[in-house]
Amino acid sequence: MTRFAAPIAEQIWDMKYRFKQADGAPIDRTVEDSWRRIARSLAAVEKDPSKWEDRFFHALEDFKYLPAGRITAGAGTGRDVTLFNCFVMGTIPDSMGGIFDMLKEAALTMQQGGGIGYDFSTIRPRGAAVHGVAADASGPLSFMDVWDAMCRTIMSAGSRRGAMMATMRCDHPDIEDFITAKSDSARLRMFNLSVLVTDAFMEAVKADGPWELTFGGKVYHTLEARDLWNKIMRATYDYAEPGVIFIDRINEANNLSYCETISATNPCGEQPLPPYGACLLGSINLARLVDRPFEEGAEIDGAQLDELVATAVRMMDNVVDASKFPLEAQAQEAQAKRRIGLGVTGLADALLMVGLRYGSDAAAEKCEEWLKRIARAAYLASVELAREKGAFPLFDAEKYLASGTMQMMDEDVRAAIAEHGIRNALLTSIAPTGTISLYAGNVSSGIEPVFAYSYTRKVLQKDGSRTEEEVVDYAVQMWREKFGDAELPDYFVNAQTLAPLDHVKMQAAAQKWVDSSISKTINCPEDIDFDAFKDVYLQAYETGCKGCTTYRPNDVTGSVLSVSEGSEKAPEADQGADVIYMSEPLDRPQALEGSTYKLKWPDSEHAIYLTVNDIIINGHRRPFEVFINSKNMEHFAWTVALTRMISAVFRRGGDVSFVVEELKAVFDPRGGAWQNGKYIPSILAAIGGVLERHMISIGFLEGEGMGLKSDPQAQVVNMEGNRGKACPSCGQYEMRMVEGCMTCMSCGHSKCG
């Protein structure tokens, strides 16, 4: 018997969370071994580890509690990685030395696998005087370009590129350039962007009043607030960015407003954090807790939920002590406040199981009810931890209970905190759960609606044949098992047919009992009127949301799901693309055709010879393996490593052109070289250029710096309009905006985790 509800769940575990040796040999033989590894690691800080190990294991069992990916992949492995998903870095000083000190800290953090958030509002605007050097400042966006380049060159732990969030205040003089930065598709690709919107600005927008752009007490420019608001709205309407963060509301509601000021969030926005703050995430899987699903009286087992929340809070509190941190300042911040972010996933599935339509008033009320119960259980569990282990070091009862969030908390919880203190300053957050939701059996993600009831993956086998694999939403699968082919009830809705304001209603209902914030994407139809689109953001502000992120498919963002015209109901399956994901590398044929290239690098006594062999699949030629050779023994180790890694990537299939991009982005701090009239930043970049020229010559790439000429692994059918970008991991055209982050629904790849 397998614990996995779907083949894709086991594949996600094997690819992302299973503990393996360096050569790929599994150490975790089963998913139970993974749960045991995590439970044992987090129980090790307890006085009675064996007692808590069993309780922690029971919480993890059958995917009831889902620690964030960093914990699931890293706990108990002994590897030098952080168990925290992401960080907000220190305040950027307005000086060249300070700026590059912050860049170094960012690189060290991303090297250990943490995503980062930064507020660039502290850097003086473009054109401002730089005293003492008779020059003008280049502005914050020029330094964001430097951060972007750094992020592209660092491979974070777990083979995941780091994600970054950049924020800027709505009154910064360079805010208009910040808003339109993503109109250049090649710029700031590693960043999510969000504008810090103040209450004063929103009032000026509603009053159609003036708005001053200032820095350091100087007014640089005055414009109409509504014009600036429309510029923000137009950019996100066209490019899905920037997002909007209601920063004053965040600071007013913060339990720690008496000892910190927040001006940035982690990459997906669910954790507003102070300088050097870290987000520690985990989710209660509501889809696993419904008693008598699809029957009369179906409901979540409240007692089981309370017990699971209490165990999860203890596990997460232990992570603070068990985790490594890239920087000492991050460790000190985490220890001083012991902030955690316990959230949920599978909400939409759970609502379906109790017979409620996502987005209805009844569903919003049920969402608020469940989230309040979780908040109460989490706060009371943290009080019990404080009685046992002590409150967080910066706890001040009077100031803490006077904060915005605590004023609405039930009186019995407030009384318990006043008497015993509390272990964790903040406890709840709704994080992106795209990958762990697939791992848990394709439950609906976070508090998002079901995206599609089912879709088909096509898997390329070793012999070149294709097999089809249906990926079904967890609740839909339960319905099928219970009722066979009976038609789905009317209350089954998905993200494609849901009205945008229904999304807002659900986000606002959840936000009432989430002390941090929520990562959520509001899906908008491509043909939504611009004024109606703006109303989504105004409604989010008026109903108490702390931020707003939308996604409108168009020619720029890509159309990610094909819906047949004239269909009265949402499609049960995504029939958009006939694509292939190579589950295992192909066997090497006896003979391959290839080419050998000679590469001479300055200051190197011997040339490097690069051989690229190709394979033909379905009549298309594509790179299959690489051999890099040199007589220079100083090159031996890295050329062997590069040979093995690039060949392994090529044999997996899909869009492997990213190898070229990554190699060409590597720079050598000792300097590059001029070749054929171009500056090549490193010998690795030169190798990337050779590979690119080879891919162009065989027709795999269209041209230098361009994408695939024709993807030999994908044949697209029934796709209307632009199909968007292929997944950089598996090559499928299944990238969807989920919780503010583009996520592949086929292999689970996400730059946000």
Enumerate the active-site residues. Answer: 266, 268, 270
How far is 547 from 449, CA to CA, in rounded Å? 18
Angle at which helix 31-43 crosses helix 302-322, to 10 degrees, equals 70
Indicate the DSSP class of residue 436: H
% helix / strand / coil in the chain, to the nearest 5? 40, 20, 40
In order, the DSSP letters of 248-277 are HHHHHH-TTTTT----EE-TTSS-EE-TT-
How far is 504 from 539, CA to CA, in rounded Å? 7
Residue with tokens 């803490």: 400
How far is 552 from 238, CA to CA, in rounded Å? 8
Residue 621's nearest CA partner among 688, 697, 715 is 697
Report phi then psi at 594, rounded to 5.
-160, -175
How far is 724 from 731, CA to CA, in rounded Å? 12
Do β-strands 115-119 and 164-169 pair in parallel, antiparallel, or remain unpaired? Answer: parallel
Number of H helices, E strands in the chain: 24, 35
Indicate the DSSP class of residue 486: P
What pairs with residue 708 in β-bridges? Answer: 701
Residue 157's nearest CA partner among 235, 221, 74 is 74
Indicate the DSSP class of residue 357: -
Return the H-helix or E-strand segment holding 467: strand 466-472
How far is 432 from 748, CA to CA, in rounded Å? 12
Q: Are 614 and 594 in contact (CB under 8 A)?
A: yes
CA dihedral for 587, 589, 594, 600, sign (positive or negative): positive
How far is 422 from 416, CA to CA, in rounded Å? 9
How far is 239 from 455, CA to CA, in rounded Å? 26
The encoded tokens of residue 569 equal 């109901």
How far is 260 from 248, CA to CA, in rounded Å? 13
Cis peptide before 242 (omega within 30 of 0): yes
Longest pairwise C-alpha distance within the chain: 79
How far is 505 from 165, CA to CA, in rounded Å? 25
How far is 3 from 62, CA to CA, in rounded Å? 7
Angle at which helix 500-511 crosses helix 361-389, to 10 degrees, equals 30
How far is 155 from 554, CA to CA, in rounded Å? 31
Indicate the DSSP class of residue 658: H
Report phi then psi at 519, rounded to 5.
-95, 110
User: 581 in the Ramachandran plot: left (φ > 0), alpha (ψ -120 to 50) or beta?
Assistant: beta
User: Which residues are CB-contacts of 501 (< 8 A; sequence separation ≥ 6)?
Assistant: 535, 536, 539
Query: Of how many residues is the chain composed?
Result: 753
User: 87 in the Ramachandran plot: left (φ > 0), alpha (ψ -120 to 50) or beta?
Assistant: beta
Residue with tokens 């994901």: 581
Q: Are 325 and 334 in contact (CB under 8 A)?
A: yes
Residue with tokens 């569903």: 363
Q: Give the amino acid at 106.
A: A
Return the H-helix or E-strand segment holding 197: strand 191-197
